[in-house]
Amino acid sequence: MLKIECLVTGDLEENCYIIHNNKYALIIDPGDEGKRIIDKIEKLKLEVLGILITHYHFDHIGALDEVKNKYKSAKTYDYKSSIDNEIDCFKFKKINNFGHTMDSCSFLFEKENIMFTGDFVFLETIGNYDDENEIIMFNSLKEFVKLNDDIKIYPGHGPSSSVGYEKRNNYFLRGI
């Protein structure tokens, strides 16, 4: 059973997630306040195996260098990574969902039924995008609604939700 810790970091209140099994951990979007993130990991006595980046906006990677420097053996995963990834107990799919940025991706942990969506889909809203990327965003959302309703989503800002809840309540997913 994986545990999920959420640290809200920086002025833009970005959700940095630490997921772990009490021994090994992955860090998702170390946005800011590197010392706080590292302190939390040290307190939990975790070994960091990977760092997952949903996209490269500054509020998601502000502490990336600091964290990488501390956990030198941890591998970084982002939109360029393989679709299927496995590191020790962590098995996850990388799903590109360009639109908010052209380097946006989500990380889906199928066994645990959880997905980290960055600034792609939030509780009852979606990430902003430039007009010229509207069709790209729309296509990404079309893929999102094909996912199982019971997948819990953990966005880059704000509270968690689920695919099913968003299909029913997210204005931007209506008619898709």
Task: Evaluate whether 64 touches 71 at the Cβ level (below 8 Å).
Answer: no
C-alpha to C-alpha distance for 110 and 103, rounded to whole angstroms = 22
Q: Report the nearest approach of Zn ion to the CB of residue 55 (Å).
A: 6
Pick the closer one to Zn ion by CB: 24 or 56.
Answer: 56
Q: Report the nearest approach of Zn ion to the CB of residue 7 (Å).
A: 17
Pick the closer one to Zn ion by CB: 20 or 57.
Answer: 57
Q: Report the nearest approach of Zn ion to the CB of residue 12 (Å).
A: 9
Measure the CA dihedral 57/126/132/145, to 10°. 120
Q: Report the nearest approach of Zn ion to the CB of residue 154 (Å).
A: 15
Tokens of 95: 């799903």
Pick the closer one to Zn ion by CB: 57 or 94.
Answer: 57
Q: Return the bridge partners of 9, or none.
A: 14
Residues that bind Zn ion (CB under 5 A): 57, 119
Q: Report the nearest approach of Zn ion to the CB of residue 63 (Å).
A: 15
**Neighbouring C-beta atoms of residue 123, cutoff 10 Å:** 16
Pick the closer one to Zn ion by CB: 20 or 96.
Answer: 96
Pick the closer one to Zn ion by CB: 14 or 166.
Answer: 14
Q: Can you tell me whether residue 60 is helix, strand or coil?
A: helix
Task: Evaluate whether 7 touches 40 at the Cβ level (below 8 Å).
Answer: yes
Q: Return the bridge partners of 24, or none.
A: 47
